[in-house]
Amino acid sequence: MNISEMLIRHEGKTLEFKRDISSLKPILKTLVAFANTAGGILIIGRESDGIVHGVPEVLQAEERLANAIADSIRPAMMPEIEIYSHNDKSLLILRVFHWKGPFYLKSDGPEKGVYIRLGSTNRQAGPEILAELQRSMQNRSFDQLPCHDLSIKALDIEKVQCIFTVTGQQIDEKKLESLGLLVPYAGDLSVSNGGLILFGLDDVRQRYFPDARVSCARFRGTDKSEFIDRIDIAGSVLNAIDEVPRFIRRNTRLAAKIENIHRQDIPEYPELAIREILVNAIGHADYSLSGMRILVGIYADRMEIQNPGMLPFGMTMEDLKAGVSKIRNRVIARVFREMGLMEEWGSGYKRVIHACQSGGYPEPDWEELGTAFRVIFHPHPAVLDHSRTSVPVSVPVSVPVNDRQRWFLEQLAVGKQIRASDLAVYWSISEKTAKRDIADLKRNGLIEFVGAPKNGFYRIMEEWRRGSKDRVIW
């Protein structure tokens, strides 16, 4: 570790500074939080504002600190402690490794004395985090645990068969157990948490895991003050793998690149990378946390995919980017592997970066936000250029358009190729009604159909893209 470089960094998940050891309890809390979360380095002798004061009588301070750690933290902790000289000032450097605990302050006890690291702060672990730490110590995941009173009857066997018979596998009780969907309990087989989350009958799953779902929203601006479209994906989280991309496609823009005589559509956001992150969000979500669900948010300037659960204990953002893999949900990961949704462990980050770079997209941002994890995608530059140079669509004052028709025109205005079926799905109307709406737009001279019936597309008539004083711009 390069201490000189660390001294100019800000505090974070694995780094903290203390001026001195006059108050030992905050120091001990930090060491406990580091050990329980992902390890870390505590530097004593530097202010949080960057001023280095050094530690006077550093040998006595080191001995006092070592004694306090031995007396106050359980189980026994042995951090690396060294003295480091910086500009003729002595610093104490404590390096703590993540280890199976949970570690706690002896004075507060094993229930109230456990701390974890959230960003640059130490937080007392609540019951759900305590349970997760205990499971980590036992090398078990939440989705492997049995739903004690539920038998195989709680599973939608037809859905399981529909998915796995495609891969040529026979679904029986033995196979369900090998997948972890059924687990031994009290001399019998019970449905696992993972089995219920993925394949539980809707009413049963809603009773046990009401937050195991994916919610999508399209917001008008750059914050959540006003949304213009939203949906909660019905049924299992597996349904979101197909439904979320549909929601994204109908709520994002396209740019077009013409090469020779061929048109190439450029989606606003990288579709392959989004699918990868969506699968990871479902596969790595912490379903033990109540009141939190997987969120997909589309804003005017970005798209976010967020799942409950910070990085697994013992893992840092640097580990993630280096390809280190820690599986939070072993049952879900096994099912995803068999379905071909997850490939080589730890390769997801590299695949996302490659998909963005090869498509000309900015790299996404990755964030831990308390007990949640978020990936932020940014629009393709071509889409931004297109939106800056495109002319607003206008319609004559004398031509009435309903909300459905206005939406249809807006989609065409940003380069989307949509048809009656898309209009019907978005507005939950019959395709007959959608075709009538489109026919009205054609009859009023606002749009035209270009190309063959099977492969053609609608576009706005050129004259209505130029605007004039007798038209309403929208």
Burial 394-430 (b: 16+ CB within 10 A, else e): bbbeeeebeebbebbbebbbbbbbbbbebbbebbeee
Write down the residue that tokens 């898309």 correspond to. 422
Q: Give the tens place of pLDDT for each residue, 36-75.
A: 999 999 999 998 788 999 999 999 999 999 999 999 999 9
Question: Is residue 474 predicted with pLDDT exceeding 80?
Answer: no
- Mean pLDDT of the region 306-315: 95
- Mean pLDDT of the region 283-307: 96
Question: Is residue 140 predicted with pLDDT exceeding 70?
Answer: yes
The residue extents of the domains of the chain are 3-125, 142-208, 214-382, 390-473
> Residue 148: its pLDDT value, please?
82
Could you give the angle at which helices 271-284 and 348-359 cross, rounded to 10 degrees?
Answer: 160
> Which of 105, 121, 103 lies closest to 113, judged by CA?
105
- Distance between CA atoms of 461 and 449, rounded to whole angstroms? 10
- Distance between CA atoms of 384 and 255, rounded to whole angstroms? 8
Question: Is residue 386 predicted with pLDDT exceeding 60?
Answer: no
In degrees, to the nearest 5, what angle opens at C-alpha 29 toward C-alphas 325 and 65?
110
Give the pair of three-digit tokens for residue 198.
């993925």
The CATH number assigned to the domain with range 214-382 reads 3.30.565.60
Comparison of pLDDT for 49 and 294, the residue scoring more: 294
Name the range with the highest mean pLDDT among 183-192, 346-355, 378-387, 425-434.
Answer: 183-192
Other CB atoms within 10 A of residue 301 CB? 10
The CATH number assigned to the domain with range 390-473 reads 1.10.10.10
Model confidence, pTM: 0.79
The CATH number assigned to the domain with range 3-125 reads 3.30.950.30
Comparison of pLDDT for 272 and 169, the residue scoring more: 272
- 306 contacts 281 by C-beta, under 8 angstroms: yes
Write down the residue that tokens 């951090």 correspond to. 79
